[in-house]
């Protein structure tokens, strides 16, 4: 997932603002106690999410894929005073873990966790979003984008994670590798969509940033 040499990654992170103490503990304990810790946004990407949120000062953020709650905390840092972040996940086993860290911050009251099927929950939302972060099952990225695009204000930002898929987006892809094919199809879909301007950032596992026109 990390394409830079380890020493270069260390240099980049050492010249990036540090995580808060809560985020550092959440990062460490996710790696120590939770399966598939590579799903965590981590220090560098987390600071980027926070920076973007601070720049936008969003009133409403939608996150698809909560995992252990790290990225939700990063995004919540830039919320407007009356802001709210809705985060959706279908794994109830990690809810208490995530909430235990949210409660240690000033943002707990601004994070609305929704448990269930993301597509169904998105359809039920009547909010207009300033910022959306798609970080759920990759085969449904295109579906999630289609469901959220009309709920994003003009000028709003949509982010999609893991769009380089550990580098598998270049080179031959096996027909049976459905996840990689889904990521490739999503990237092509966004690149051809006239409703957004987009840039693929080679940060961590790749982050697609889209601005709704």
Residue 94: which of 35, 23, 22 has the closest Cα?
A: 35
Domain residues for the domain of 200 are 6-212
Residue 153: which of 186, 196, 199, 208 has the closest Cα?
A: 196
Q: What is the pLDDT of residue 2?
A: 67
Q: 134-176, pLDDT tens digit by residue?
A: 999 999 999 999 999 999 999 999 999 999 999 999 989 999 9
Q: Do the domain assignments include residue 173?
A: yes
Averaged pLDDT of the chain = 96
Question: What's the whole-model pTM score?
Answer: 0.96
Q: Do the domain assignments include residue 144?
A: yes
Q: 51-85, pLDDT tens digit by residue?
A: 999 999 999 999 999 999 999 999 999 999 999 99
More confident position, 4 or 65: 65
CA gap 56, 185 in Å, rounded: 29
Q: What DSSP letter does each residue of 27-59 carry, written as one string? A: HHHHHHHSS-GGGS-HHHHHHHHHHHHHHH--S
Which residue in this structure is represented by tokens 């550990």?
166
Q: Do the domain assignments include residue 156?
A: yes
Residue 168: which of 190, 184, 153 has the closest Cα?
A: 184
Q: Do the domain assignments include residue 1?
A: no
Q: State how many domains the chain has.
A: 1
CATH number at residue 113: 3.40.50.150
């Amino acid at each position: 997932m990390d394409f830079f040499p380890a020493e270069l990654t260390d240099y980049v992170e050492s010249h990036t603002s540090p995580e808060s103490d809560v985020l550092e503990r959440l990062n460490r304990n996710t790696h120590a106690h939770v399966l598939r810790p590579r799903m965590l946004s981590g220090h560098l990407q987390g600071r980027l999410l926070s920076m973007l949120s601070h720049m936008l000062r969003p009133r409403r953020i939608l996150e698809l894929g909560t995992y252990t709650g790290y990225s939700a905390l990063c995004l919540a840092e830039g919320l407007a005073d009356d802001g709210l972040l809705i985060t959706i996940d279908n794994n109830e086993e990690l809810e208490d873990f995530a909430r235990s860290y949210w409660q240690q911050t000033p943002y707990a009251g601004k994070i609305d966790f929704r448990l269930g099927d993301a597509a169904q929950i998105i359809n039920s939302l009547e909010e207009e979003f300033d910022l959306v972060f798609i970080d759920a099952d990759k085969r449904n990225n295109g579906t999630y984008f289609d469901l959220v695009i009309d709920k994003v204000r003009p000028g709003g930002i949509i982010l999609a994670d893991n769009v380089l898929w550990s580098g598998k987006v270049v080179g031959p892809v096996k027909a049976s590798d459905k996840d990689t094919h889904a990521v490739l199809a999503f990237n092509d879909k966004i690149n051809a969509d006239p409703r957004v301007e987009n840039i693929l950032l080679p940060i961590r596992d790749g982050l697609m940033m889209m601005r709704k026109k």
